[in-house]
Amino acid sequence: MEFERRRVIVRALQGFTLSTGSPIGWAFIRYFSGVDLLQDIEQNFSFYLYLAIGTAIVITSFGAFVGRQEQRLTKMSLVDELTKLYNGRYFHERLLETYAQSIRSETTLSLIMLDIDHFKDINDNYGHFVGDRVLSSVGEAVRQICRSGEIASRVGGEEICVILENCSLNKAVNASERFRLAINSAEVVLDNGKTISVTVSAGVASSETTTTGAWDVYKAADEAMYRAKQSGRNRSCV
């Protein structure tokens, strides 16, 4: 989200630029009123200074405020409210961008598909409120261990996909186990004091072995995740 952080700076600079119009405009008004502008500035220097600095502070601050609001709205449109991970829209855009970059730089793109085991049973047995708490807990666990170059998004009901930039298949498998074990250690405490342990099945794929397109890598990770489900769950498959 570096671009969004720069937005605040850009809006503040735009505000500062606009603020210069205030003293300049007043100077033009005085000039066309027949006043000796240089003498007027000399005699009323403190006023011109106040006009310049005061306007700059106010409009620059307002520009920064507008930038922060734009940043917040943009974040709301790209982040899943429940898990606080990126949403599917952002994932789709970033996957294509990252894959294109990997082709240009001749690096490897890897994906991890995580799916919560027996999530339907959790909803059926405990209710969707508890299911939401499970999703929130999983999202927090994923956020806490995400490293630079790892982009985690909620892409489905209980599915989370992690894009790994410039990451080999072997390293992606290690990262998958890191995520899986972190989620396993996160427990959801119910209102009655009982806890629910959550496991995930993970599928890993890489452009090392799937080079025909970004969505083929995604499909391969999805298929690997289903193999993890079929072979007993709570494991990673390639």
Catalytic residue numbers? 158
What distance in Å separates the CA atoms of residue 83 and residue 99, rounded to the nearest whole number?
25
Check the CA dihedral 203-209-214-216 and report its sign. negative
The first and second tokens of residue 225, run together, are 């995740």
CB 143 within 8 A of CB 152: yes
Residues pairing with 203 in the sheet: 113, 237
Both tokens assigned to 135: 């999703």
